[in-house]
Amino acid sequence: MAGYDWISFTTDYGLSDGFVASCHGMIARTAPQLRIIDVSHQLPPGDVTRGAAVLAQTVPYLPPSVHLAVVDPGVGTVRRAVVLQTPNGLLVGPDNGLLGWAADALGGIERAVELASTDWFAPTVSRTFHGRDVFAPAAARLALGADPGEAGPEIDADSLVRLPDPVIAVGDGWLEAEVLTVDRFGNVQLAASGEALTALPDRLTVGGCRAVRGTTFADVPSGGLVVFADSADRIAIAVNGGRAAVMLAVNPGDIVRIS
């Protein structure tokens, strides 16, 4: 099987400890020539949905890669470790819903394998740090061209854990959608696609606040609320010079009505 020159790496490990560096080190010990793209290590701890959204919205813009992702509150439990093969790359991580949306973005799952062969792990495996001792060594071997089938038994893709579909409802001149993410600027990204904006009027109400349908932040004066299609082609809500999440008092998982 052909290998990859790149590994992308996404976690909730943060940067104040040595967790990310340890995983980098395990990859480098196996394949020092590989290059690593750090997608994010500042995901909210244990927030699988946020990790899934960030990963899915990033992988289409990366080179063909092994995508290593670890947001793993169930580490050390019976949850499976998996490798997912897609037409445009491999995904390595826990079977907790983290990888599914990214697999869809990469063309869908062609093959799923449980990462079970201890030959692929570090010599000693910590029950609480599978990112370093299980997933990172496996990602390195896969990038070097190892066949995923050597990692363990093939599994039915339908048996993989999937996150629930976000809530989206559309009516005549209105839309309700779940908050998918809130970025560091306080912009609120909804699960609805940007195309759904075309059915909404130019002047809007969002959570009791007046808003304008636009294309960028400067379409409203400072402090104004704008609804637009963001860079991931999702409906997003922003405040020019402010934080929409604060103005609307919403968090991921909440439902926002636009009319």
Residues whose CB falls within 8 Å of the CB of residue 20, separated by 6 or more in sequence, listed in order: 9, 11, 13, 14, 38, 41
pLDDT per residue over 112-152, tens digit each? 999 999 999 999 999 999 999 999 999 999 999 999 999 99
pLDDT-derived band at 183, boundaries 50, 70, 90: very high
Q: Could you tell me the residue ranges of all domains in the chain?
A: 6-159, 168-258
CA nearest neighbour of 256 among 184, 199, 157, 181? 181
CATH number for the domain formed by residue range(s) 168-258: 2.40.30.90
CA–chain centroid gap for 152, Å, is 25
Q: What is the pLDDT of residue 180?
A: 94
Q: What is the predicted pLDDT for the residue at 248? A: 95
* Local structure of residue 211 (DSSP, 8 states): E
pLDDT of residue 54: 96
Q: What is the pLDDT of residues 24-71, one digit of tens each?
A: 999 999 999 999 999 999 999 999 999 999 999 999 999 999 999 999
pLDDT tens-digit readout, 83-116: 999 999 999 999 999 999 999 999 999 999 999 9
Length of the chain: 259
Instruction: Classify the C-alpha dihedral 143-69-78-14 as positive or negative.
Output: positive
Q: What local confidence, expressed as pLDDT, does residue 162 receive?
A: 96
208: confidence class by pLDDT, cuts 50, 70, 90: confident
Q: What's the CATH code, domain 6-159?
A: 3.40.50.10790
Q: What is the pTM of this model?
A: 0.94
Q: What is the pLDDT of residue 207?
A: 85
Look up residue 205 and give its amino acid: T
**The predicted structure's pLDDT at residue 13:** 98
Non-local (6+) Cβ contacts of 215 within 8 A are 228, 229
Burial label, 242 (beta-carbon count in 10 A; 0-12, 13-18, 19+): middle
63 contacts 35 by C-beta, under 8 angstroms:
no
Question: For 45-54, what is each residue's pLDDT tens digit?
Answer: 999 999 999 9
Kindly tell me the burial class for residue 238, based on how many C-beta atoms sit within 10 Å of its own C-beta (0-12, 13-18, 19 or more).
buried
pLDDT score, position 1: 66
Question: Could you tell me what percent of the chain has a pLDDT over 70?
Answer: 100
Distances from the Cα of 155 to the Cα of 34, 69, 109, 172, 220, angstroms: 28, 19, 11, 43, 51
